[in-house]
Chain A
Amino acid sequence: MAQSKMFLVSENAVWRNDNMSILKVEKVTKRFGGLVAVDDVTMEIRQGEILGLIGPNGAGKTTLTNVISGLHTVSEGRIFFDGTDITFLPTHKRCHLGIARTFQIARPLKNLTVAENVMVGGLFGNGEKLKDGRKSAIKLCETIGLAKPNEVLDKITVLDIKKIEIARAMATKPKLLFLDEVMSGLNMDETREMIDTVRKIRDTGVTICIIEHVMSVIREITERVIVLDRGAIIAEGPYSEVSQQHNVITAYLGEDA
């Protein structure tokens, strides 16, 4: 009896060891009518890494994010997160499990204040009580550098809106965070600040998948990138290697290059 129990434990440990990935996407295809937005994608995101998801416009990066976070259902394929099959789980449950995201075009909740925006994440994504939610939201605002948590969203800078996006996602206490073009529209200093923020988040143990057009950012902070083109993965590996590959360059610059 004791032996078999030990056996189970050890097997479990082996499974964990073997499975360093937090997210597994298996042969996922997403079609909109005749258009194939994501084409037979198989990929993994490893625990604790900063992964870059890159590719030319319309490559299917955001669609893939939407499929993983549950805004779109897959046409084919399976998705596993942290050992559970989430293929058919509704969006809010995926959030409860620990998948959070920001939006490419920032979507602040305009009828709420800065801190209240962040609170939504804590209250519903992390199941906090109202009082705790308010406290932790204000704390998060401080950490990320949102100076006026009680401000309404009428007059607020682009940088602050992006910070709200990240703080709101972080408030759900995610294990895996998708950052969809959080650097676009920022100036040099702001980009610097944002890169620091992303690193700090990773240091708290959150796995990050970053979608970005600014290649200098990708080069600087990612350990690994996946390149999408027309919905399919065309390259995978460290940025320095991938950026030299012929097919990646063609995808970005066209056949003539």
Chain B
Amino acid sequence: MKIIKPILLLIVLAAAVMLPLLTEAYFISVAITILTFMTLALSWDMMLRTGQLSFGTAGFFGLGGYAGIIAAADLGVDPITGIIIGGLVAGVVSLVLGMAILRLRGLYFAITTMALASVFMVIIRNLHKISGGPSGKVVLSTLFNYDSNKVYWFMLGVALITIVISEVFQRTRIHFAIDSIRADETVAKSHGVNIYKYLIFVFVVTSVIQGVVGATYALQYGFVFPESSFSAHYLLLPIAMALVGGIYSTIGSVIGAIILGLSSEYLKLIMPYGHLIIYGVIIVVVVLFLPNGVYGAIKDVLGFRKRRLEER
């Protein structure tokens, strides 16, 4: 039994790497979108594991995108360096802001992160000279010159690194720090956990991921635009995905992103405008009825059956 898991993992990985050779361009672009949102969902969930609900995902996504495009357009760096700069900028900004806002908890932390995303957008819209203001900014050299296969592999790499980071967070001492903070901060600090340090660490790591994804997304199309770069989609979809798959786990966000990513393509076909409603409905339904997500619900049902069998 023990050997099945790694073999399965290898097969999935191989299939993911080979995908561009097996399918057509349309499906590759869908896959890139899924990977993008999967990474955002994971990063959102990683912060949630500390017990802090962040609405700042779209903010750091947009910030990274802008930093990447500005670096590529004004500093003339190549797109990959632009992406690294996007991650660094998101990291530095989150470090400075995190030192202040991670003193906040619960409702106040959540609302402040929501406000931050708007603050980023207002600032960027008003820094005309650097950001291009309300009309956005364009760069000519895009990531791999629109070679979607290469973009796919790159994005797959980013997603895999994020998955590994998420698993590291689940398997090392970080896991115990994070879980104890979520369960009871007072207990955590009374037993030697430096809460503040861990919160900042997780906040910065997840923001860097969001910045990198934002820069990758912006540089593959070669433009940024305030309203779309900071769009609530980059918050709404990841949350829905993580909730559907099940929060507090790596596999949850991965499964959620695949389920919702694929179904949203179908939804787009049957209802071109309103498909985002479905995400809202999903969030509401999961919060009300499936607190462990779809994956968790399946596991619960299976576990229940297994227990029933054992009892017999």
Evaluate contact between A124 and B177: CB separation under 8 angstroms: yes
Known: A112-B179, A124-B177, A130-B172. A107 touches B187 (CB 8 A): yes
| B150 at interface by CB-CB < 8 Å | no
Q: In the complex, which residue of chain B has the Cβ closest to the Cβ of A112?
A: B179
0/1 interface trace, chain A 166-177, chain B, CB 8 Å (1 if under) = 001101100000
Known: A71-B186, A92-B194, A169-B191. A123 touches B179 (CB 8 A): no
**Inter-chain contact count A-B, CB under 8 Å?**
77
Interchain CB contact (< 8 A) of B173 among A125, A126, A130, A168:
A130
Which residues does chain B contribute within 8 Å of A92, judged by CB atoms?
189-190, 192-195
Evaluate contact between B176 and A103: CB separation under 8 angstroms: no
| B250 at interface by CB-CB < 8 Å | no
The distance from the CB of A251 to the nearest CB of chain B, in whole angstroms, is: 29
0/1 interface trace, chain B 175-188, chain A, CB 8 Å (1 if under) = 01101101110111
Interface size classification for chain B = 10 to 19
The distance from the CB of A165 to the nearest CB of chain B, in whole angstroms, is: 9
Which stretch of A10-18, A80-88, A94-102, A216-224 is in the interface? A94-102
Complex-state Cα separation, A133 to B176, whole angstroms: 11
Interchain CB contact (< 8 A) of B179 among A107, A109, A171, A172:
A109
Which residues 48-83 of A have a CB within 8 angstroms of B?
A: 69-71
Which stretch of A34-42, A114-122, A181-189, A225-233 is in the interface? A114-122
Interchain CB contact (< 8 A) of B187 among A96, A103, A119:
A103
Complex-state Cα separation, A123 to B194, whole angstroms: 12
Complex-state Cα separation, A133 to B192, whole angstroms: 14
Which residues does chain B contribute within 8 Å of A116, judged by CB atoms?
176
Complex-state Cα separation, A124 to B198, whole angstroms: 12
The distance from the CB of A16 to the nearest CB of chain B, in whole angstroms, is: 26
Which residues does chain B contribute within 8 Å of A96, judged by CB atoms?
192
Q: In the complex, which residue of chain B has the Cβ closest to the Cβ of A168?
A: B191
Evaluate contact between A111 and B191: CB separation under 8 angstroms: no
| Number of A positions contacting B (CB below 8 A) | 30
Which residues 291-306 of B have a CB within 8 angstroms of A?
A: none
Q: In the complex, which residue of chain A has the Cβ closest to the Cβ of B189?
A: A91
Evaluate contact between A107 and B186: CB separation under 8 angstroms: yes
Evaluate contact between B192 and A109: CB separation under 8 angstroms: no
Complex-state Cα separation, A242 to B187, whole angstroms: 33
Complex-state Cα separation, A115 to B188, whole angstroms: 15
The distance from the CB of A211 to the nearest CB of chain B, in whole angstroms, is: 15
| A155 at interface by CB-CB < 8 Å | no
Q: In the complex, which residue of chain A has the Cβ closest to the Cβ of B196?
A: A90
Complex-state Cα separation, A197 to B239, whole angstroms: 47
| A246 at interface by CB-CB < 8 Å | no
Complex-state Cα separation, A121 to B184, whole angstroms: 13
Complex-state Cα separation, A126 to B176, whole angstroms: 14
Chain B CB within 10 Å — which of A130, A171, A172 has the most? A130
Q: In the complex, which residue of chain B has the Cβ closest to the Cβ of A99?
A: B190
Evaluate contact between B176 and A119: CB separation under 8 angstroms: yes
| A5 at interface by CB-CB < 8 Å | no
Which residues does chain B contribute within 8 Å of A71, judged by CB atoms?
186, 189-190
Interchain CB contact (< 8 A) of B176 among A90, A95, A112:
A112
Evaluate contact between A109 and B190: CB separation under 8 angstroms: no
Complex-state Cα separation, A71 to B189, whole angstroms: 9
Evaluate contact between B182 and A125: CB separation under 8 angstroms: no
The distance from the CB of B177 to the nearest CB of chain A, in whole angstroms, is: 7
Interchain CB contact (< 8 A) of A111 among B173, B182, B190:
B182
Which residues 184-240 of B have a CB within 8 angstroms of A?
A: 184, 186-195
The distance from the CB of B166 to the nearest CB of chain A, in whole angstroms, is: 17
Evaluate contact between B176 and A107: CB separation under 8 angstroms: no
Complex-state Cα separation, A69 to B187, whole angstroms: 11
Evaluate contact between B180 and A120: CB separation under 8 angstroms: yes
Which residues does chain A contribute within 8 Å of B189, judged by CB atoms?
70-71, 90-92, 95
Which residues does chain A contribute within 8 Å of B188, judged by CB atoms?
120, 124
Which residues does chain A contribute within 8 Å of B194, judged by CB atoms?
90, 92, 124
Q: In the complex, which residue of chain B has the Cβ closest to the Cβ of A129?
A: B173
Evaluate contact between B195 and A120: CB separation under 8 angstroms: no
The distance from the CB of B219 to the nearest CB of chain A, in whole angstroms, is: 38
The distance from the CB of B188 to the nearest CB of chain A, in whole angstroms, is: 7
Which residues does chain A contribute within 8 Å of B191, judged by CB atoms?
95, 100, 120-121, 124-125, 168-169, 171-172
Binding site for A on B (CB under 8 A): 172-173, 176-177, 179-180, 182-184, 186-195
Binding site for B on A (CB under 8 A): 69-71, 90-92, 95-96, 100-101, 103, 107, 109-112, 116, 119-121, 123-126, 130, 133, 168-169, 171-172
Given contacts A116-B176, A172-B191, 8 further A-B contacts (CB under 8 A): A91-B190, A100-B190, A101-B190, A107-B187, A119-B176, A123-B173, A123-B176, A124-B194
Pick the 7 closest A-B CB pairs, nearest first.
A125-B192, A124-B192, A109-B183, A95-B192, A91-B189, A124-B193, A121-B191
Can you give 29 contacting A-B residue pairs, CB < 8 Å? A71-B189, A92-B189, A92-B190, A92-B194, A95-B191, A96-B192, A100-B190, A103-B190, A107-B184, A109-B180, A109-B183, A109-B187, A111-B179, A112-B176, A112-B179, A119-B176, A120-B176, A120-B187, A121-B191, A123-B176, A124-B176, A124-B177, A124-B188, A124-B191, A124-B192, A124-B194, A126-B192, A130-B172, A130-B173
